Amino acid sequence: MASVSEGRTGLARAIFDAQWRQCSIFRPPTADGVHTSLASVKFDPAVEWLVVCTQTCSMCSEDFTAEPMAEIMVATPLQKFNSKHNDAMGKNNKCLHVPVASLPGLEGLACHIGRRTFMSRSTIAGWVPSKAWMAEEVEKSFRGWLAHHYMRISLPDKLVERLKEPDGVRDIINAALEGDVLGKPSAEGVASFYVSSKPDHDLPPDQPYQMELLVACKNEETREFLTRVLSDLHAAKKKDLSVKGVVITRLDIETEDNITLSALEGMHRFNEWDTLSLLPERLASIEKTI
pLDDT tens-digit series, residues 194-236: 899 999 899 999 999 999 999 999 999 999 999 999 987 765 5
CA distance 10 to 150: 32
For 76, 85, 103, 255, the CA distances from 221, given in Å and listed in that order, are: 40, 27, 42, 9
Q: What's the chain's length in residues? A: 290
Q: Determine whether 240 is exposed, middle or buried from the number of CB atoms within 10 Å of its CB (0-12, 13-18, 19+).
A: exposed
Confidence grade of residue 34 (pLDDT, cut at 50, 70, 90): low
Query: Is residue 22 domain-shared with residue 147, that is, in the same domain?
Result: yes
| Cβ(176)–Cβ(187) below 8 Å | no
The last residue of one of the domains, among 151, 169, 188, is 151
Compute the average pLDDT of residues 182-200. 89
Q: Residue 147: its pLDDT value, please?
A: 75
Largest CA distance in the chain: 68
Residue 112: pLDDT above 90? yes
Query: Is residue 163 domain-shared with residue 71, that is, in the same domain?
Result: no
Query: Is residue 62 domain-shared with residue 130, that is, in the same domain?
Result: yes
Query: Is residue 182 domain-shared with residue 112, that is, in the same domain?
Result: no
CA distance 13 to 125: 9
| Residue 290 is assigned to a structural domain of this protein | no
| Residue 287 is assigned to a structural domain of this protein | no
The last residue of one of the domains, among 127, 151, 175, is 151
Q: Residue 221: its pLDDT value, please?
A: 96
Query: Is residue 133 domain-shared with residue 161, that is, in the same domain?
Result: no
Helices (H), 61-152: 121-124, 136-151
More confident residue, 283 or 167: 167
Residue 276: pLDDT above 80? no
Query: Is residue 179 domain-shared with residue 87, that is, in the same domain?
Result: no
Query: Is residue 91 domain-shared with residue 221, that is, in the same domain?
Result: no
Average pLDDT, the chain: 83
More confident residue, 237 or 15: 15
Q: By residue range, what is the domain housing residue 137?
A: 2-151
Residue 180: pLDDT above 90? yes
Query: Is residue 51 domain-shared with residue 6, that is, in the same domain?
Result: yes
Q: Residue 90: its pLDDT value, please?
A: 75
Residue 166: pLDDT above 70? yes
Which has the minimum average pLDDT: 108-122, 146-160, 254-268? Answer: 146-160
Q: Residue 92: its pLDDT value, please?
A: 78
Amino acid of residue 132? A
Helix H or strand E encompassing 212:
strand 209-217
| Residue 81 is assigned to a structural domain of this protein | yes
220-229 vs 169-177: helix axis angle to the nearest 10? 140
Helices (H), 116-219: 121-124, 136-151, 157-163, 169-177
Helix H or strand E encompassing 278:
helix 271-283
Query: What percent of the chain has pLDDT above 70?
Result: 82
